[in-house]
Amino acid sequence: MEGISSEPGPMKVFENAGKSATLALYIMAAWLSSAVQGRYAMLLVSSPEAHGAPIWRVPTKYYLDHNHSSLSFFPGGADGTDLSIMMDAILGICSLSDSMMLIAQWESHLTDMEKNCGVLLKYRSNDAKASGCEVCFLEESEAAKDMFIHILTVLWLEKPQPHSAWF
């Protein structure tokens, strides 16, 4: 039939966009809920002094606080010590494969799957002597890594930063 387009009309496109946005919000809310309850990951730890030193994989559980203002890692078997990072102390979030220095240093110690599932989180510590710290860990899958990076980046950008004060 002439004059009839097989392309969806503007209302159908709008309806589909609305469903996609709703689904994205649902997925984000589900991830936030699971992060508040605690998610399992694998910390990657190596000796900072020895280049090419082996990497230890330490089972951990991380938690996002209810206000989404801090992220805490509780390594398995630890004596109650944890690593807590405030959102306003985060300097950067990326996949481990985006950090050329660490990948070059750890390449022979990581499988391809681990390289694809790794997250690098850089942050300021409370120690005035430390210029910046970093924590590396493995998510359960590449999709989980991408979700962590996306949602934590959104939360990080939403938190007030010292440089964003009104003048």
Long-range contacts, 25-28 (Cβ 8 Å, 24+): 27/147, 28/151, 28/154
Cα separation of 38 and 144, whole Å? 14
Among 163, 160, 166, residue whose Cα is nearest residue 87: 160
CA angle 35, 40, 45 (to 5 degrees): 120
Residue 166 pLDDT: 42
User: Phi/psi at 87 (nearest 5 deg)?
Assistant: -60, -40
User: Minimal CA–CA distance to 99: which of 70, 120, 124, 129?
Assistant: 120
Classify the C-alpha dihedral 149-103-110-73 as positive or negative: negative
The architecture CATH gives domain 10-159: Roll (2.30)
Q: What is the pLDDT along the chain (167 residues), one digit of tens a residue?
A: 455 545 555 445 445 556 777 878 888 899 999 999 999 999 998 766 656 667 889 999 999 999 999 999 999 755 567 899 999 899 989 998 888 676 677 777 888 899 899 999 999 887 656 667 889 999 999 999 999 999 999 988 887 665 444 43
Residue indicated by tokens 């390449």: 107
Whole-structure pTM value: 0.76
